[in-house]
Amino acid sequence: MPQTAPNSSLVAPDIQSDLIEDLGADTFETMVQSLARCLTKRLAEIEQAVLSGDHGGLLHAAHDIRGSALNLGFTAIGHAARALEQSTGSGQIDDQACQHLRHAIEQSRAEIPSLRSP
């Protein structure tokens, strides 16, 4: 299971515990490592989409991050991605929402070693 610091606002321990119980710790850890790779790739896509004004690409990357993070119980990342997705869906590229997502990912990676890029 990912080692979390006392900041429980980053994760939903009940979701993660249920996943570990249902799937096993090794499978859950593999899924978390897959999420870590996804975050790296999607952040690069978000940066490119912001630079080029690609609302569709930004929306796709934010949606992918949101779903993956929330399904694995990484609530801070999932909620930040949801906010970006919602602001992008309204036709705007919200730099503050992009920064909030980046901060949520950085904070989560700092406190949860298994989320760090391989």
Looking at residue 92, its pLDDT comes to 82
Question: Range of 70's domain?
Answer: 8-115
Number of structural domains found in the chain: 1
The C-alpha atoms of residue 63 and residue 57 are separated, in whole angstroms, by 10
The pLDDT of 84-107, averaged and rounded, is 91
Tell me if 1 is assigned to some domain: no
Helix extents (H) in 53-117: 55-71, 75-89, 95-111
Residue 7 has pLDDT above 70, yes or no: no
Tell me if 98 is assigned to some domain: yes
Q: Residue 66 sits in a domain of what CATH number?
A: 1.20.120.160
Specify the pTM: 0.89
Looking at residue 8, its pLDDT comes to 63
* Residue length of the chain: 118
